[in-house]
Amino acid sequence: MTGSAQSLKNIISKRVWIRASPKVVYKALTEARELVHWFCDHASCDPREGGDVVARWRTGKAIQKGRARITQLNPGASIEFLWLDDVCGTPEAISHHTLSYEIQSKSGMTELIMTDKDVSAPDEETYTFLDQGWNSVLIELKDYCERKERTAKLPPRPKANRSKAPAE
C-alpha cells in the first residue's frame, strides 16, 4: 500500500493492490454483509446514487456511528460518499467530507485508490491519526478481499458418503 504525500493536509490518498477481482472489491465496498467483515461491526447500505450507508462500530465501551450518502456510483469501477454524520458530528447541510474509491484491474490484480477529502484541514496530530487509520482499514479490506477470492477458487469439498453398511 502506498500513500501519497499531499501538500494539502485536507486530502488523504492511498493506493493498495489487491489480489482479488474488481467485482469482489466492489462488493466489499458496497454491500452491508461485506462491510462488517472489514470496516465496522454493523452496517446498512443502499448501493445506488442517493442511497445511504450507515456504519456502527464499537470503540472500547462506546458505540460510534457514521452515515454517508452515495453521490457517485459506477458499478465495479468507482464510488463516492459524502459523509453526512460522522464521528465529528458535522451537520448534514454543511458537510464537505467525501470519500471516494477508484477500482481498476491491472496485471491480474485490482488497484484501489482511496481518497478522503474535507474542505477544512485537521491539525497535524489528527491528520497523522487519520492517515495511519486508513492504512489499517485498507489492510483489513485487502486481507478480506484476498481471503474471499481464495475461498471462491477452492474446489468444492466432496460430500461424505453417509450410506450405512447393512447390518449383519
Query: With 90 as the cut, is the pLDDT of residue 145 above it?
Result: yes
112, 25 contact by CB (below 8 A)? yes
Give the pLDDT mean for 12-16: 96
Q: Which residue has the cell 461424505?
A: 160
pLDDT tens-digit series, residues 63-78: 889 999 999 999 999 9
CATH entry, 2-152, from 3.30.530.20, 3.10.180.10, 3.40.720.10, 3.30.300.10: 3.30.530.20
Nearest to 118 by CA among 102, 99, 133, 136: 99
In DSSP terms, 3 is beta-bridged to: 14
Indicate yes or no: pTM above 0.75.
yes
**Where along the chain do its domains lie?**
2-152
